[in-house]
């Protein structure tokens, strides 16, 4: 059975901005996201449903003002084309709960895949890898 999103529970749990991004495909202002400068190893997951989306090892500094990754975890996202700005962009959504996460652009030749998954910080929860305890 498909994962069902409880919109009202999400609205109550998330910040207004996170809700607008995840469920209304809004975009946070560049340079404002809490994960932008995050460099620790760990895992990024969907802020709506908790599905793991990106490993921190695929994060890179794209200089665009949003946290960027060159590769998602297998099967974690779905792609769709949107024309919200008048030209086609490839939208990225969580494959489990269908929440909007950001867009992907083929403009990162400095990475192993050449792709830039341009994500909204508020759409992601970050779990740092636990430090080894001696």
Catalytic residues: 118
Q: Could you say whether residue 96 binds Zn ion (CB under 5 A)?
A: yes
Among 18, 21, 48, 92, binds Zn ion (CB under 5 A): 48
Q: Which residue number, 97 or 108, has a Cβ lying nearer to Zn ion?
A: 97
Nearest-angstrom CA–CA distance, 129 and 67: 18
Distance in angstroms (rounded) separating the CA atoms of residues 19 and 100: 10
Please give the Cα distance from 127 to 36 (Å, whole number).
14
Q: Give strand pairing partners of 93.
A: 78, 100
Helix (H), strand (E) at residue 7: helix 7-13
> Which of residues 35 and 96 has its CB atom nearest to Zn ion in the complex?
96
- Shortest spacing between CB 9 and Zn ion, in angstroms: 13
Q: Is 62 in the site for Zn ion (CB under 5 A)?
A: no
**By CB under 5 A, residue 97 contacts Zn ion:** yes
- For Zn ion, the binding residues (CB under 5 A) are 46, 48-49, 51, 94, 96-97, 99
């Amino acid at each position: 059975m498909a994962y069902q999103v409880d919109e009202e529970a999400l609205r109550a749990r998330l910040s207004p901005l996170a809700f607008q991004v995840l469920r209304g495909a809004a975009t946070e202002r560049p340079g404002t996201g809490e994960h932008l400068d995050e460099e620790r190893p760990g895992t990024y997951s969907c802020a709506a449903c908790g599905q793991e989306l990106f490993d921190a090892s695929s994060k890179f500094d794209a200089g665009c003002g949003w946290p960027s990754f060159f590769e998602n975890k297998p099967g974690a996202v779905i792609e769709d084309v949107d024309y919200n700005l008048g030209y086609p962009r490839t939208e990225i959504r969580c494959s489990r709960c269908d929440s909007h996460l950001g867009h992907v652009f083929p403009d990162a030749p400095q990475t192993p895949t050449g792709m830039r998954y341009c994500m909204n910080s508020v759409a992601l929860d970050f779990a740092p890898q636990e430090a080894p305890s001696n």
